[in-house]
Structure 1
Amino acid sequence: MDRDPEVDRKSQPRIRVFQTECNPVFGTVCRQPERSRQKNSSIGGQAVKTVKVTPDNIISVIDVDFDDFHELQKAVDGHFETVSTKTLYETFKMPVIMLVDEDGIMKQKEVNRLGSYFYDADRHGWPILGDVVFAIAAGEDIEAPSDAEALKIFLKMNFSYLKEE
């Protein structure tokens, strides 16, 4: 008996995987809305690696527990806010965000050149002030990049003014 392929296709349950194209430098595949990695990429409150850039263009890999709100505040030296822009997404081809000090203006912090570039400050005139910590948006969660060293290398290759201590 011949099967009608159209009938078989309709009777099969459809499974849909939401994928977006990610930068092969990081060797990751972004899945939305479900994530394949464990929550916040840290197990049991352990610190994981991410990238930090200071206003004096120093880039470094730091350890942060993304499950600890106070540790994230310490990483940006203040109450943090998340910044997500089209420029960030187009650069990394994944939902990269920046964590920045939301009170940078009141604290009179210095302009962060890289953060201001990703924030499109040249268009609207509002720069990013203070340190910038990079993360990945995963729904309502914030996760560490899967490979902080690769992220640091990528940034240094594309923004020659960045330097290590």
Structure 2
Amino acid sequence: MIINFLLRKYKQNELALEQEPTSSLFQKRKEALTELILLDLEHNGVLKVKTIKITADNKISIVDVDFSNNRAIMDAMGGPVEVVVTDELYNFFKCPVLMMLDKNGYKKDVIANTVASFLYGYIENAVPVLGDVILAQPAGERKGDLEGVGEPEEKMQMLMQRFGFLETA
């Protein structure tokens, strides 16, 4: 994910510029990073990254989501989302992973998502997850910085091995 690296460096450079606004080195670095980001955007269209989506009807797929755009996230989920982090997610993936849930799931006539409910901690709290979910990972120092799960193909295979009823979409 080169673009995520560039964006992190850009943010670091912005913080450094706040400390030293007259630094010609930081100004030149900002111009170079801006140019690289624009080239990447031109080449790839938008800041979409690959991540995993699990539907309530037990379909799993790798989808492209622009995590820098709330509208794109809502479009991928079909409405507003709620972000959750659980011990079960961390224990399963052995790294920080979060789930984006359909915030309106309880308002619709939607079935429970078995995999998401397990990863949410259904065994302990008896609260099922309704509807589809998308997985993401923290991507920076700010709370809202997200990116797709690293190595989504491997993580998808891991999920399919653990939950044998999952089918590719």
In the TM superposition, what are the counterparts of 1:108-127 in structure 2 within 5 Å? 108-127=109-128
**Identity of matched residues, %:** 34
Shift of 1:39: 4.4
Paired position in structure 2 for 1:153: 157
Cα offset, 1:108, TM superposition: 2.5
Write 1 or 2 for the structure with the bigger share of helix: 2
Structure 1, gaps ≥5 residues long: 1-35
Q: Secondary structure at the match of 1:123?
A: helix
TM-score of the pair, normalised by structure 1:
0.71
Distance 1:90 1:38, change over 3 A: farther
Q: CA 1:91/1:98 → structure 2, altered by over 3 Å: closer, same or farther? A: same
Task: Give the greater-gyration-radius structure (CA).
Answer: 1
- Per the TM alignment, residue 137 of structure 1 is displaced from its structure 2 partner at its CA by 2.1
CA–CA distance in 1 between the matches of 2:6 and 2:129? 30
For residues 80-125 of structure 1, what are the alpha-carbon distances to aligned partners after superposition, in whole Å with 9 as ceiling and x for unaligned? 0111000100111111111111121012321000000011113222
CA distance in structure 2 between the partners assigned to 1:62 and 1:88 by the alignment:
19
- Superposed CA RMSD: 2.0
Instruction: Determine if the alignment matches structure 1 residue 144 to structure 2 residue 144.
Output: no
Letter of the 1:99 partner, please give it.
Answer: M
CA distance in 2, matches of 1:85, 1:39: 27
Which deviations, in whole Å up to 9, do the C-alpha atoms of 1:26-65 show, x marking residues without a partner? xxxxxxxxxx84548x964321111101011000111111
2:69 is matched with 68
Equivalent runs, 1:12-161 vs 2, <5 Å: 37-39=5-7, 44=41, 45-138=46-139, 139=141, 140=143, 141-161=145-165
- Paired residues, what number? 129
| SS class of match (2:107) | coil
What does residue 32 of structure 1 align with?
none
Give the SS at the match of 2:159: helix
